[in-house]
Amino acid sequence: MARAHGAEGVQTLEQARCKVSDKIGATGGFPRGKLNETDEGELRFAVGEENGNVVIRFGGTVSWLGMPPEQAVAFAEVLITKARAIAKRTGKVLTLRVC
């Protein structure tokens, strides 16, 4: 249903809380046009931590995300950075496998 557009949608929970005008959730916009007939438009979301877990907040129900490869890599980097920070603090060892 929803589609992520732009690296601006990838932010920490702290950034999401600080930017009152940039609330998470659907924006109603289609800055890159519709991907397909089920595309519901741009979505702002936040990546943070809760009880030692990486948490992604979408601000509503999301059936799917679609984004260009460069944005997918940026999203993955945010998740990996957050996961590494949590692991370092909790003493966990992470392994990243790329196929």
- Sorted by sequence, the CB contacts under 8 Å of residue 71 that are 6+ apart come out as 4, 5, 6, 7, 9, 10
Expressed in angstroms, the distance from the first to the final Cα of the chain is 28
What is the pTM assigned to this prediction? 0.71
pLDDT above 90 (res 70): yes
For the chain, domain boundaries = 7-90
- On average, the pLDDT of the chain sits at 83
pLDDT tens-place string over residues 36-62: 999 999 999 999 999 999 999 999 999
Closest CA to 5 of 37, 29, 38, 36: 29
pLDDT tens-place string over residues 18-30: 554 468 999 999 9
- Cα atoms in the 13 Å half-sphere on the side-chain side of 5: 19
